Chain A
Amino acid sequence: MTLVPESRVLLTDALRPPAGHRVDVVVGTTYSLDLTALLLAPLSFAVSEQVEGDVSRVDPIRLLEAVRRHTEHTTVFCQAGGIHVPSRYRSILTFVEDSVVEVTAPAEDAIFHPKLWALRFAGPGGAVSHRVVILSRNMTFDRSWDTALVLNEASDGAIDAAPAADFVRGLPARALRGLPADRTRQVDDLASTLATVRLAAPTPFTGGALLPIGLDGADVWPFPERAYRVLAISPFLTRQAVRALGHVADERTLVSRAESLDLLGSDALTGWKVDVLQRLVEVEPDGDVAESQPARSEFESGTAGLHAKTFVVDLPDGTSMTVTGSANLTGAPWGRSVEFGAKLTGPTAACGVASVLDGSPGVPGLSALLQDYHPATTAGVDDPAIETSYTLERFHRFLASNLPVTHVARLDDDRAQLSVSVEIPPFVPGMTRIWPVSLPDGHAQPLAPTTTWTLAHLNVTPFLVVETTAGDGDARVTRRCVLMGDLRGDVDSRRHDAIFDVLRSKQDVLRYLLFLLGDPSYDALLAEIAGSGEEGFHPESRGTRQDVALLEPLIRAIGRDDDALARVASLVEDLRAMPNGHELVPDDFDTLWDAVWQVHREARR
């Protein structure tokens, strides 16, 4: 598939294990991170396929089970100071805390910007299979025009996975705080099996190579000296990089965002045919068009508009190369910021610039969605807000990198006290407020070396919101992000409370048990007992079932799925430890479980 508008890849399909496989280890990287989006990723990993965007529509019990099951083998590396403030705090976010690792780029003042997923799946009989996914979208709910390259393992694949393995192996060293030993081992183990894997190139491409950038400080510039034709798609630009790529070919097209082109000015674009997406192909999340908003940086790039970074070059030998990934046309060569991309090659007729822009019979090309653009000025315009937004980003990165510490003290059965200590740099831009992400912003306090809140145990969190406003007039910018504090003196029942914040009745526990067992034959039944807007084929015949037989999936799990039984055992333990636990145990389950557990133990002897 080339980048004609109708080539579409579903994010959930990109992450979901192949049929008959389960997720074994996952490593993801992103520049900015939406914690709620991170919450949804495990749903894609789960065997059950019910995943559609909106988190409020997801069955909370299904979500709880998926998150608990998958966070222990999922690690996401993101830029320090790059975590977005979630629109609403949920206590379930407590389970993703261990998955999130804040990192910084090796080069001074550079950013960690790759959007890479490396996944290992376990199949029947212990066979493993790998996938490398290279995106231009961060782990956020953006609705922008982004690309996805999904590379699956194939023994005769044209692409060597080793560069991704090396990249993944190098990530823990970039972490602000040391990773727990078992996570580092997990990441290393994924890297070691990925290192010998071959990946298939997507048709019609016939070859390719992965492009890790910035971890080793080496320059990367995959473009040839001379070529026939270039198509560059990049939302952000610098004059120097546009000039460098311009030398490659006389016939060249640049697709970018109007505000980025205005910053550059038309002089810097001489020789380029310059296009932007037509405004009305920028589909808004709610389906209605909003006021056109300029994007100043990747962090605030908004939800709509062009966000892909892809370059197509027609070479003199009748082949073409496509470079796609996270790197904007803002550096030439690339190498300061940490990025990840891939180069794909194939015949120009199928993979060249014309195939993307003009399409083929019955397949519209990208040109159909583009319009010419001429910047208003020759020398470019300054946006004073950009300088402020960089200053704020650096400031937030400083706060994150100096490791805030959050001390928790238990006050009584319900309440705890949270004391946050932050290192404040000598120069502080503008006004800054801080508050725990679990509280509304009415609880914000001015930034100080130590700030204190009293809150419910359930709301104890290492995630802190900082919000800074600086600059005057046109240069005025407000930036909000989440920092992770080191949580010390944790309230021990916090995660336990978070589970039973979701599981409130026997019915809930029953459904949770079924999810824990993960038996595919029960999916329909689950939907039925959920009674949650899921419409059956004949709604009039639908009743609520309280009497689901757990016996069958439990017995099936014996000797087949020890993990499933271990998950159930852990829940049973939690339930039995609770003072009112017996009120939540489904009728007759205790007897059944004791019998099953005994058989299981005998079978293992």
Chain B
Amino acid sequence: MPSSFGWLDADTEQRRQMLEVVDLFSDDGTVDELGTGAIRDALSHALFPGTSVLHTRLRYALFVPWLLQEAGARSSSPDTGAALRQLEIRLIGSLLAGGEKPGVIGNRARQTLKRMPSSVYWSALGAWGIRQRDVTIEGYLRRRHDLARLAARTAVSDDPETRETPPSSGLDPHLPPPPEGLLTRATFDLTAEEEEYLSDTIARATAGSLLAWLVHHQPARLPDYAWELTTLGEAPAQLAETVDHARRFHTVIHGAVLVYNLLLARQRHMDEPVAEFEADLAEWRSELQSSNALDGWDRAAWWTTVTRSNARIRPLTRTFVDQWIDLVASDPEVATSAKAAGLVTTRERQIKGGRARLVNQSALDSWSGASGLGRLDFNWSVARGHLGDLYAARGAA
């Protein structure tokens, strides 16, 4: 086995979290400045289980198990981990040869790739029932190796009739076969058989989610946000309700991030950005009204929805969000409200301590001028891409 050096993760779930955090930090727009990321993730999980901001195209959910099978089949040496890595790097070339470019994981990094598709899609494979839940990549390869050795030892004496259950390798036995030329010339297009398999598997494993519902209820158009789906009225009531909570939070919390940026701009005496953020806040206020984001919002039901997906949302986070909603509901001018400024300043300090920009000059100095302003979509853009891949395969069939 090769040696390795890197940051330590306790388990595959933590590794996924860390890779996602690194990804969010590579873009100023997605930085979670006020610590509401756990709520965002809870809703993403409820609506689109298994999806990750690291995902690009859906066919990786098949590429990864195919490459695992291939690496496992080459298990004459115990070092199947290195074999998998080589296959994942070969896949980059194969996809580029097939004419793909956007969405190819590692098309820039190539040999130096760290974020392997297998680790990016591993959680999804579990959430979608394509692999057994508690199997790690290394564990799968080990098990394949052990089973191969066992088979070699017992092949002669073993009467197939005596074995009632074939040993499971950890991957779904119903997985479609890989295409010819997977490692020489591949594309992201799903075949009809693959589409059918993924649709059934994902819908079954994520039953009750918006993702599952959309797999089997293809809308005419995939809009920018999930709540703009015109077919939502036909969805089960609880789903539509969760989507509505997401819509309201998307709108309400954006004001807090705008106030945060406004306060930073004021503290840095940046006149032009100050005026821009003030204008953005006025615009946000009219969006708040036109979208009825606050009207008739059942806050108890909202928190029930959030905590159903993540029961461990901290009281501090919940208090901040509640206070912000109360403030927005009562005070129309958050741009000049001392209370709004105080709430946001306290929140930043609470979670970042001495590293808070609003209290630490060097942290303020390094502010890019706009952060955390990307609008929350709860992984809809990722799910939309996956659904688009499924729908396209249906159209082609």
How far apart are B13's CB and chain A's nearest CB, in angstroms? 7
In the complex, the answer to whether A146 meets B134 with C-beta atoms within 8 Å is: no
Known: A49-B135, A286-B312, A520-B167. A291 touches B22 (CB 8 A): no
B142: Cβ under 8 A from any A Cβ: yes
In the complex, the answer to whether A369 meets B142 with C-beta atoms within 8 Å is: no
Q: Which residue of A lies closest to B357 (CB)?
A: A371
**Which chain B residues lie closer than 8 Å to A135 at the CB level?**
8
B369: Cβ under 8 A from any A Cβ: no
CA distance in complex: A202, B172 (Å):
33
CA distance in complex: A20, B115 (Å):
27
**Which chain A residues lie closer than 8 Å to B164 at the CB level?**
549
A475: Cβ under 8 A from any B Cβ: no
Known: A286-B314, A534-B133. A148 touches B8 (CB 8 A): yes
In the complex, the answer to whether A20 meets B3 with C-beta atoms within 8 Å is: no
Residue of B21, B114, B134 touching A4 (CB-CB under 8 A): B114
**Which chain B residues lie closer than 8 Å to A6 at the CB level?**
19, 22, 114-115
CA distance in complex: A202, B11 (Å):
21
How far apart are A128's CB and chain B's nearest CB, in angstroms? 14
Which of B10, B78, B136, B143 has the most chain A CB atoms closer than 10 A to its own CB? B10
**Which chain B residues lie closer than 8 Å to A150 at the CB level?**
3-5
Known: A152-B2, A363-B114, A364-B22. A145 touches B355 (CB 8 A): no
In the complex, the answer to whether B107 meets A362 with C-beta atoms within 8 Å is: yes
How far apart are B214's CB and chain A's nearest CB, in angstroms? 22
Interface residues in A577-593 by Cβ distance below 8 A to B read none
In the complex, the answer to whether B5 meets A8 with C-beta atoms within 8 Å is: no
**Which chain A residues lie closer than 8 Å to B119 at the CB level?**
8
CA distance in complex: A141, B149 (Å):
35
CA distance in complex: A148, B3 (Å):
11
**Which chain A residues lie closer than 8 Å to B142 at the CB level?**
16, 19, 47, 49
In the complex, the answer to whether B114 meets A7 with C-beta atoms within 8 Å is: yes
In the complex, the answer to whether B312 meets A147 with C-beta atoms within 8 Å is: no
A431: Cβ under 8 A from any B Cβ: no
**Which chain A residues lie closer than 8 Å to B106 at the CB level?**
362
Q: Which residue of B lies closest to A21 (CB)?
A: B78
In the complex, the answer to whether B10 meets A53 with C-beta atoms within 8 Å is: yes
**Which chain A residues lie closer than 8 Å to B356 at the CB level?**
279
Residue of A308, A372, A525 touching B366 (CB-CB under 8 A): A372
**Which chain A residues lie closer than 8 Å to B114 at the CB level?**
1, 4, 6-8, 363
B395: Cβ under 8 A from any A Cβ: no
Interface residues in A360-388 by Cβ distance below 8 A to B read 360-364, 368-369, 371-374, 376
**Which chain B residues lie closer than 8 Å to A11 at the CB level?**
8-11
CA distance in complex: A152, B206 (Å):
40
In the complex, the answer to whether B115 meets A520 with C-beta atoms within 8 Å is: no
CA distance in complex: A525, B163 (Å):
12
CA distance in complex: A285, B351 (Å):
15
In the complex, the answer to whether B8 meets A280 with C-beta atoms within 8 Å is: no
How far apart are B297's CB and chain A's nearest CB, in angstroms? 22
In the complex, the answer to whether A8 meets B165 with C-beta atoms within 8 Å is: no
In the complex, the answer to whether A151 meets B363 with C-beta atoms within 8 Å is: no
CA distance in complex: A507, B25 (Å):
49
In the complex, the answer to whether A202 meets B2 with C-beta atoms within 8 Å is: yes
B233: Cβ under 8 A from any A Cβ: no
Residue of A146, A279, A369 touching B355 (CB-CB under 8 A): A279
In the complex, the answer to whether A535 meets B133 with C-beta atoms within 8 Å is: yes
CA distance in complex: A13, B174 (Å):
28
In the complex, the answer to whether B354 meets A259 with C-beta atoms within 8 Å is: yes
In the complex, the answer to whether B7 meets A52 with C-beta atoms within 8 Å is: no
Size bin of chain B's contact surface: 35 or more
Q: Which residue of A lies closest to B363 (CB)?
A: A371
Stretch binding the partner chain, chosen from B32-40, B61-69, B268-276, B378-386: B32-40
A289: Cβ under 8 A from any B Cβ: yes
B193: Cβ under 8 A from any A Cβ: no
A247: Cβ under 8 A from any B Cβ: no
In the complex, the answer to whether A288 meets B310 with C-beta atoms within 8 Å is: yes
Interface residues in A429-446 by Cβ distance below 8 A to B read none
Q: Which residue of B lies closest to A276 (CB)?
A: B355
CA distance in complex: A357, B18 (Å):
17
Known: A8-B7, A143-B14. A371 touches B38 (CB 8 A): no
Interface residues in B78-106 by Cβ distance below 8 A to A read 78-80, 106
B290: Cβ under 8 A from any A Cβ: no
In the complex, the answer to whether B5 meets A288 with C-beta atoms within 8 Å is: no
Interface residues in B19-49 by Cβ distance below 8 A to A read 19, 21-22, 25-26, 31-33, 35, 37-38, 41
**Which chain A residues lie closer than 8 Å to B292 at the CB level?**
none
Residue of A16, A47, A199 touching B146 (CB-CB under 8 A): A47
Q: Which residue of B lies closest to A342 (CB)?
A: B5
In the complex, the answer to whether A280 meets B354 with C-beta atoms within 8 Å is: no
A262: Cβ under 8 A from any B Cβ: yes
Which of A19, A50, A278 has the most chain B CB atoms closer than 10 A to its own CB? A19
In the complex, the answer to whether A147 meets B26 with C-beta atoms within 8 Å is: no
Residue of A4, A49, A276 touching B136 (CB-CB under 8 A): A49
**Which chain B residues lie closer than 8 Å to A278 at the CB level?**
25, 31, 355
Known: A363-B114, A372-B363, A537-B129. A52 touches B12 (CB 8 A): yes
Binary interface profile of A, 189-201, with partner B (CB < 8 Å = 1, else 0)? 0000000000111
Known: A52-B13, A363-B113, A525-B165. A287 touches B352 (CB 8 A): no
B141: Cβ under 8 A from any A Cβ: yes
**Which chain B residues lie closer than 8 Å to A523 at the CB level?**
143, 167-168
Known: A200-B2, A527-B132. A290 touches B316 (CB 8 A): yes
In the complex, the answer to whether A202 meets B147 with C-beta atoms within 8 Å is: no
In the complex, the answer to whether B5 meets A287 with C-beta atoms within 8 Å is: no
Known: A49-B143, A372-B362, A524-B168. A2 touches B3 (CB 8 A): no
CA distance in complex: A276, B366 (Å):
12
**Which chain A residues lie closer than 8 Å to B177 at the CB level?**
none
Q: Which residue of A lies closest to B165 (CB)?
A: A525
CA distance in complex: A541, B352 (Å):
50
Binary interface profile of B, 153-164, with partner A (CB < 8 Å = 1, else 0)? 110000000111
18 sample A-B contacts, Cβ–Cβ < 8 Å, listed by A number: A1-B114, A6-B115, A7-B6, A10-B10, A13-B136, A14-B8, A18-B79, A49-B140, A52-B134, A259-B354, A279-B355, A280-B25, A291-B316, A361-B108, A362-B106, A371-B363, A520-B167, A537-B132
Other contacts beyond A1-B6, A52-B136, A150-B4: 7, CB < 8 A: A10-B138, A11-B8, A18-B1, A136-B8, A279-B355, A287-B312, A371-B363
The 7 closest A-B pairs by CB, nearest first: A49-B139, A362-B108, A362-B109, A292-B353, A7-B6, A524-B168, A286-B312
| A interface with B by C-beta (< 8 Å) | 1-14, 16, 18-21, 47, 49-53, 123-124, 135-137, 141, 143, 145-152, 154, 199-203, 205, 258-259, 262, 276, 278-281, 283, 286-294, 308, 322, 324, 344, 360-364, 368-369, 371-374, 376, 519-525, 527-528, 534-535, 537, 549, 552, 556, 560
